A = this chain, B = another copy of it.
Amino acid sequence: MSTGSDVDPAEETIFTWGAPPLKFGAGASDEIGFDMAQFGVERVLVLTDPGVAALGIPQRVAENLKRYGITAEVFDGVHIEPSDAAFERAVEYARAQGPWDGFVAVGGGSAIDTAKAVNLLTSCSGELMDYVNKPIGRAEVPPHQLKPLVAVPTTAGTGAESTAMCVLDVLSMKVKTGISHWRLRPTLAVVDPLLTMSLPPEVTASAGMDIVCHALESYTAKWYGDSGRRKPEERVTYCGSNPVSDLWCERALELIAKSFRRAVHGGAEDVEARTDMMMAATFAGMGFGNSGVHIPHANGYPIAGMVKDYRPAGYPQDEPMVPHGQAVSLTAPEAFRFSFPSAPERHLRAAELLAPRTERLPDPVEQLPQVLVDLMRDIGIPNGIGAVGYGESDVPDLVPGTMKQQRLLSTCPRPVGEEEIERILLRSVNNW
């Protein structure tokens, strides 16, 4: 088609991008009955976790659906940080109680990701491992369109309402992996900041750091054009940073700069700060969901997965956990020291967007780490992996968990091996 003459055939010139339609604003979640009715559905399953169910939000969604003549049931058995077993329990429930014409996910990333898997495995034949990414699963392609899925986030964090993937722990292999395919992307994202007004400061801080890392990792990810030319069938969901993901991530960082501290320290009253944070989360999702994330997220998996006895304030105290947003942010300052040489201007620009009034440090490598550390201290993020229970002697045990995340590490703008990851983890025991 193309004249081709100006383009090196070995160089990648193409990027891909996708996002769900968005309904955004205070009260948006009161219109889900109308929105679902547009898809001609009659019977809808609302998926949520017990914590969100206790707030009454999914039940109100179900009532709203019923007002439009849609039969709706609530499944409140979503597990936080879901495993393959948790996904399968939800699928089993949905299959037993089905068939369903559509789904609404109400909650954080866990509820939205579980709903993606349930939608896939009730819309298409096959079992979970058929679709899970290689080499863990068989990475089969969903053979046709899934049912309508409306995603309603209740935290400003994961951006899962925007992305075309779901993450799960495979228990037998002690590894975090996922299913990635554009057909998994929600049919509609309904983002209502009022659903987040009552989030405790600690949850606001942790989830917000997930946004920060999404935006920064996407922005510093390997540039799409720096890969070799892909054939159409080789294109992946995460294609590297690109002009569209940059656009979203830059704006997400500006919103974070404006409103993150306010949302943590006075979020119960501050609709504007909550609105900015919800927008930042969704925007970062519109970005990284196409470009990818790298070292901080890869490190976050073993940091969360191998938790000893850390029990964070603001979260349920029944079992130890490192919240996802903490886990991904604790090695971010050191990771961005490592990635700095790959794209100095991008790291400096990101620092400037995140903290516009910070003066330039003599050593430019330190600019983004310093801005991050200032933010993390201000909002009460633990001081390094040491503060969530890991010492230097634990680092060798964490490294293999990171190295399993090759899907993420391949988006890193510099080649990264065990040695580099070990050094980053060691230097992240204390961040200040």
Contact = CB atoms under 8 A, between A and B. Distances in A.
A137 to B, nearest CB: 20
A243 B23 CA distance: 12
Contact of A247 (B14, B27, B247): B247
Contacts of A25: 12-15
Interface residues of A, number: 50
A310 interface: no
A22 B16 contact: yes
Identical chains in the assembly: 2
A232 interface: yes
A387 interface: no
A29 to B, nearest CB: 4
A192 B247 contact: no
Contacts of A31: 14, 232
B18 A22 contact: yes
The CB with the most chain B CB atoms within 10 A, among A7, A143, A232, is that of A232
A244 interface: yes
The CB with the most chain B CB atoms within 10 A, among A17, A30, A144, is that of A17
A338 interface: no
B40 A27 contact: no
Contacts of A120: none
A283 B242 CA distance: 13
A279 B243 CA distance: 9
Interface stretch (A56-64, A165-173, A352-360): A56-64
B13 A244 contact: no
A282 to B, nearest CB: 9
Interface string A230-261: 00110000000001100110010000000000
Contact of A182 (B18, B21, B64, B271): B21
A17 to B, nearest CB: 5
A35 B18 CA distance: 14
A197 interface: yes
A28 to B, nearest CB: 5
Contacts of A195: 1-2
Contacts of A216: none
Interface of A: 1-4, 6-7, 12-19, 21-32, 34-35, 40, 57, 60-61, 64, 143-144, 182, 192, 194-195, 197, 232-233, 243-244, 247-248, 251, 271, 279, 283
15 contacts: A1-B27, A1-B60, A1-B192, A3-B197, A4-B26, A4-B194, A6-B194, A12-B25, A13-B25, A15-B23, A18-B21, A19-B21, A34-B233, A243-B251, A247-B247
Given A15-B24, A40-B144, 13 more contacts: A1-B61, A1-B192, A4-B194, A12-B25, A13-B26, A13-B27, A14-B25, A14-B27, A14-B28, A15-B25, A18-B22, A21-B182, A22-B244
